[in-house]
Structure 1
Amino acid sequence: MSHTGATMSSWAATELQTTDLGDVRRNRRLVHLVEDLAARPESSVPQASRDAASTQAAYDFWQSPHVKPQDILAGHRDSTVERVKQQSIVLAIQDTTEFNFTDHPKTQGLGYLDNANSRGLKMHSVLCVSTQQVPLGVIHQEVWVRDLAQLGKKHQRHKRPIQDKESQRWLTALLATEQAIEQSVRVVTVADQEADIYELFALPRRTNSELLIRAYHNRSVKSFADFAQLRSLDCSTWRLLRAQA
C-alpha cells in the first residue's frame, strides 16, 4: 500500500471506530469504502474501488436492509463531537443541497427539485467548523424526497404548520446540534436567507446557542428601522476570503 493509501486507511479506521452496523464485517466494509472513495473522490465507484469484487461489495453494502443511513453517519458524528469538545466556539453551518438524477430516467423513488422538471433527492446538513476555519465534521444530516403529488401546490404551503413544511429542517437541525454538543461549547448556527423564518428565531435555545442568519425579510428591530438604514452605516471591518477553485 502506498503512503497515501496507508494514511487514508489509518484515518478511516480511527474516524469510524465507534461505528456499529450489527456485524464486524459490515463495519470493516464501511471502512474500506471510505478509504477507497476518499482516496479518489473525483472517481466513480468502479474507478475508486480496488477491484471488481470491491465494486460489487460496495453496491451490496448500500442495498443491504441491515445498513441504515444514520448508522453510517454515526461513527463520523461521534468523532466530530470529540473534535468539537476541544473548541470554545464552533460554527454550525446549515445548508441544503440537491442531487439531480434527471439524466438517469430508470432511477426510481425520486422527487421533484427546485426546478420542477428535474428529479432527485434533497439533503440538509450541519457542518461544524472552528473559528480558525478548520472543518470539524458533519454533525447532522437529513435526506428526503419531495412528493410528486405536491408538485404545483406551492401556494398552499403557507397554510400548513411548520412541522409539515420543509422549513422544519432548520429547526430539526438546530435541535440536533444542541443535543449533540455540550453546553460548555458556544455554538453559532449559521444559515442563509431560507432560514430567516419566525419559527426558528422563536424556538427556545439552550445556553451558549446563538444564531447568525442572513436576512431575507425587511423586519423592524429595536436598534434599526429597516434595511435602508443598515446599508447607510459605515462598515466596521472587512475580511478577504480566498476560495480555491
Structure 2
Amino acid sequence: MDTENPELDELSAWLVDELHDVALGDKRLNRRLLTTGAQLAARPSGSINQACADWADTKAAYRLFANAKTTAEKIRAPHYRRTRERARGHQRLFAIQDTTYLNYTHHPATKGLGPIGTAPQKLSGLVMHTALLMSEEGLPLGLASQAIWARPPKRPRRGSEARRKLPLEAKESAKWLQALQQTRAVVPPEAQLITIGDRESDLFALFEQARTLETELLVRAAQNRSVCAPEVGRLWAVMGRQKVCGQLQVLVPARQGKPGRQALVTVRFAPVRLKAPRHLRKTMGDISLYAVLVQEEAPPPDSTPLCWLLLTTVPVHNFAEAVERIRWYGLRWQIEVYHKVLKSGCCVEKAQLAHVERLLPYLALLSIIAWRLFWMTLLARHAPEAPCTLVLAAHEWRALYAFHHRTQQVPARPPTVGQVVLWIAQLGGFLARKNDGPPGVTVLWRGWQRLSDIAAAWLAFHPS
C-alpha cells in the first residue's frame, strides 16, 4: 500500500493492491497512476474530465498519459503478476483469445490511428488482441496477454498466394502465437493450460507452437484441411462420416437482434492427423489432433443451424469427454462479454486523447478496470457466500449497507459477496424480481458509479 498517501489506499484498495509494484521509473508518476486509476475506476463510464476531482487532477491525468515513461507494457506488468498469483492452485486454466476493434472514426483529431473494417466503410481505430485467463469454473482471473496496435494507413494489395507465402511474423495472424507464448509465461507451470480460439485461430503454425510449448489448444476449425491415413480425405467429409455418439442441448447466445435459444445437436468425434499445408511442409510435420463435430439437425425456422467443428490437442475418447470439450468452447463467449464491459461499461471508444501513444496506456489501465467489473459480476455467481471484503473496502460495504437499509447502524460482520453485488446492481436499476436471473454487468457498472459517490460521502461523515 501507499504509506505516503493513506487516503488513496482508502479510496481504491483493490487498485492499489493490483498495481502496487508498478514501475514507471518515477515514484511520483507511480502515485499519479494509482490516483488516476482510482478516479477512473470509480466512474468507469465517464471521461477523464468527469472522473477527475478538479482541473488540477484532470491536467495531471493528461500529463500522465502523455509521459513517455507511462507505457501500456509497464501498466499491464503488475496486473500479469497478480493474474499469476490468482492462478496458483488451479489444476486447469483456460486462456481465451479474441480480437476486437476500437472505433475512433468520430475522433479525427487523434493522430496515429489505422484503418479498421472494410475499405468502403472508411473507419479508423485500433486493433486489440487479448488473452483472458479463466478458471475451470468460469471465473476470470485476469489478463494473460494483450496487444493493441494501429494498422499501417496503406497496406499493399497481395493475392491469396502471395499472402500465403509471407513469413508468419509479417502477418497479423502472428498475434495468436505471440499471445500463446506470453500466456504460457504468466501461467504457473504446474497448471494445465488450454488456449481457446474462434475460427480465426485455425492456424497450422499455432498447433505447431502449442506442441513446442507443451501446452493445449481448443479451436474452432475454419480450414477444410487434408486428413492423413488411416482415414484419408478432407476434414469436414471425414467427420461427417463418423458415427453419432450422442445428443446434447447447447445454448446459442443472443446475436444481431435474435434472442438466445437452446439447440439440440448431434455429436461426433474422432482422432485425426492433419497434413501440413504445402508451403509449410519443409519446416513443419503433420499434426495429430482430436476433432469434435457439433451439428444442429433441425433448427427452428429462420434460424441458422449451429455447427461447430472443434479441433483440440486434448484427447477425446468417449461422448462424455466430447461434451466436456464442447463445454470448454462455450467459455469463449465470456471474452466477448469482457469486450462489452470495456466498450459499453468503460466507454473506451469515447476517449479523446491527441495521439495513439497516449491512448495505449489509457486503454491498458481501463482494460484492468474492465476485468475487475467483470470478475466481480461472476464472483457473485460462483462464490455468493464468500465475504464481501473480497470485492469491497470496509468503507464501501458499510456505506452500501447503510444506504440500502436506510440506517446508520452497520453490522460488525461483513455481508456476503452475493448480497453486496445484488445491492450494487439495484443501484444500477436491477429490479431483483422473483423470476429475474442474476444481475449482469450492465447494471453493475451503473451501480458501481453510484456506490463510489455514496462511499465518498460515507468517508466524509465517518473519517475514522
TM-score by structure 1 length?
0.87
Give the aligned partner of residue 125 of structure 1. 130
User: Over residues 149-171 of structure 1, what are the superposed CA-to-partner deviations in whole Å (9 max), with x where a residue is unaligned?
Assistant: 21644644223111110011101
Write the distance in 2 (CA, Å) between the matches of 1:88 and 1:241.
28
Give the aligned partner of residue 76 of structure 1. 79
Letter in 2 for 1:145: A
- Which is further off, 189-198 or 27-36? 27-36
SS in 1 for 2:133: strand
Residue 69 of structure 1 and its aligned partner are, at CA, apart by 1.1
Residue 110 of structure 1 and its aligned partner are, at CA, apart by 1.1
Write the distance in 2 (CA, Å) between the matches of 1:73 and 1:11.
15
Give the aligned partner of residue 37 of structure 1. 40
Distance 1:235 1:111, change over 3 A: farther
Matches within 5 A, 1:137-176: 137-150=142-155, 152-153=157-158, 155=160, 156-176=162-182
Give the aligned partner of residue 214 of structure 1. 220
Give the aligned partner of residue 61 of structure 1. 64
Residue 75 of structure 1 and its aligned partner are, at CA, apart by 1.1
Residue 26 of structure 1 and its aligned partner are, at CA, apart by 1.3
Letter in 1 for 2:145: H
Percent identity reads 36
Q: Does residue 186 of structure 1 match 2:192?
A: yes
Write the distance in 1 (CA, Å) between the matches of 2:208 and 2:89.
29
Larger radius of gyration between Structure 1 and Structure 2: 2
Give the aligned partner of residue 227 of structure 1. 236
Residue 59 of structure 1 and its aligned partner are, at CA, apart by 1.0
Write the distance in 2 (CA, Å) between the matches of 1:108 and 1:215.
37
Residue 219 of structure 1 and its aligned partner are, at CA, apart by 2.7
Letter in 2 for 1:87: H
Write the distance in 1 (CA, Å) between the matches of 2:10 and 2:95.
28
Write the distance in 1 (CA, Å) between the matches of 2:90 and 2:83.
11
TM-score by structure 2 length?
0.48
SS in 2 for 1:112: strand
Residue 74 of structure 1 and its aligned partner are, at CA, apart by 0.8
User: Over residues 38-62 of structure 1, what are the superposed CA-to-partner deviations in whole Å (9 max), with x where a residue is unaligned?
Assistant: 2222111111222222222111111
Write the distance in 2 (CA, Å) between the matches of 1:147 and 1:30.
30
Task: Give yes or no for contact 2:9–2:16 (8 Å, CA) kept in 1.
Answer: no
Higher-helix-fraction structure = 2
Write the distance in 1 (CA, Å) between the matches of 2:157 and 2:46.
36
Distance 1:239 1:38, change over 3 A: farther
Letter in 2 for 1:233: V
Write the distance in 2 (CA, Å) between the matches of 1:138 and 1:171.
16
Give the aligned partner of residue 405 of structure 2. none
Give the aligned partner of residue 22 of structure 1. 25
Structure 2, unaligned runs of 5 or more? 1-7, 254-336, 338-439, 443-464
Task: Figure out how many residues of one structure are paired with residues of the other and give that number.
Answer: 240
**RMSD between aligned alpha carbons?**
2.5
User: Over residues 193-230 of structure 1, what are the superposed CA-to-partner deviations in whole Å (9 max), with x where a residue is unaligned?
Assistant: 111011111123334x2101111112354679633564
Residue 8 of structure 1 and its aligned partner are, at CA, apart by 6.0
SS in 1 for 2:154: helix
User: Over residues 113-169 of structure 1, what are the superposed CA-to-partner deviations in whole Å (9 max), with x where a residue is unaligned?
Assistant: 122211111111111011111111111111111112216446442231111100111
Give the aligned partner of residue 114 of structure 1. 117
Write the distance in 2 (CA, Å) between the matches of 1:239 and 1:141.
30
Task: Give yes or no for contact 2:99–2:127 (8 Å, CA) kept in 1.
Answer: yes
Task: Give yes or no for contact 1:89–1:187 (8 Å, CA) kept in 2.
Answer: yes
Give the aligned partner of residue 52 of structure 2. 49
Distance 1:149 1:17, change over 3 A: same
Task: Give yes or no for contact 1:81–1:181 (8 Å, CA) kept in 2.
Answer: yes
- Which is further off, 213-222 or 185-194? 213-222
Give the aligned partner of residue 134 of structure 1. 139
Write the distance in 2 (CA, Å) between the matches of 1:135 and 1:127.
7
- Which is further off, 53-62 or 225-234? 225-234
